[in-house]
């Protein structure tokens, strides 16, 4: 498999209460799905199937693009996770979900950083 067949999908999705991805009773999550598919139409279909299998519904789509190593060479944690997912996909072809942040986790971070809570 080549990286030309790998897609990066940055999105927001709702989480069902019983979704396997719902670890903290969140209503949604921001995440990046990385998957292998021969073309964009196939990638969209595979992504939709992945969301359905995890009891998630797409709310917003921020990026849907073919993976280019140069786009993820900045050394950020997000880029590192995406590059690691690509390496795993090249080995086994399995869809990877990386760099996810849930609504509950983001609310907690915001509350900790809110100066009015003092």
Q: CA-to-CA distance for 106 and 61, rounded, in angstroms?
A: 19
Tens-of-pLDDT digits for all 118 residues of the chain?
Answer: 556 699 999 999 999 888 988 888 888 899 999 999 999 999 999 999 999 999 999 999 999 999 999 999 999 999 999 999 999 999 999 999 997 877 777 777 778 887 665 5
Cβ–Cβ < 8 Å for 25, 102: no
CA dihedral 104→109→85→94, nearest 10 degrees, is -10
Q: CA-to-CA distance for 90 and 29, rounded, in angstroms?
A: 26
Q: CA-to-CA distance for 68 and 99, rounded, in angstroms?
A: 17
Cβ–Cβ < 8 Å for 56, 19: yes
CA-wise closest residue to 99 among 4, 9, 7: 9
pTM score > 0.75 for this model?
A: yes
Phi, psi at residue 95, to the nearest 5°?
-65, 140
Kindly report the three-state secondary structure assignment for every residue of 34-55.
EEECCCHHHHHHHHHHHHHHCC
């Amino acid at each position: 498999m080549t990286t030309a067949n790998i897609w990066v999908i940055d999105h927001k999705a709702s989480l069902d209460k019983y979704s396997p991805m719902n670890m903290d009773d969140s209503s949604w999550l921001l995440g990046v799905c990385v998957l292998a598919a021969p073309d964009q139409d196939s990638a969209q279909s595979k992504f939709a199937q992945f969301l359905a299998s995890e009891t998630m519904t797409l709310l917003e789509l921020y990026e849907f693009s073919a993976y280019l190593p140069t786009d993820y060479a900045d050394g950020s944690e997000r880029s590192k996770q995406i590059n690691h997912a690509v390496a795993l996909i090249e080995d086994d072809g399995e869809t990877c979900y990386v760099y996810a942040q849930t609504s509950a986790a983001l609310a907690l971070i915001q509350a900790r950083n809110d100066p009015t809570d003092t």
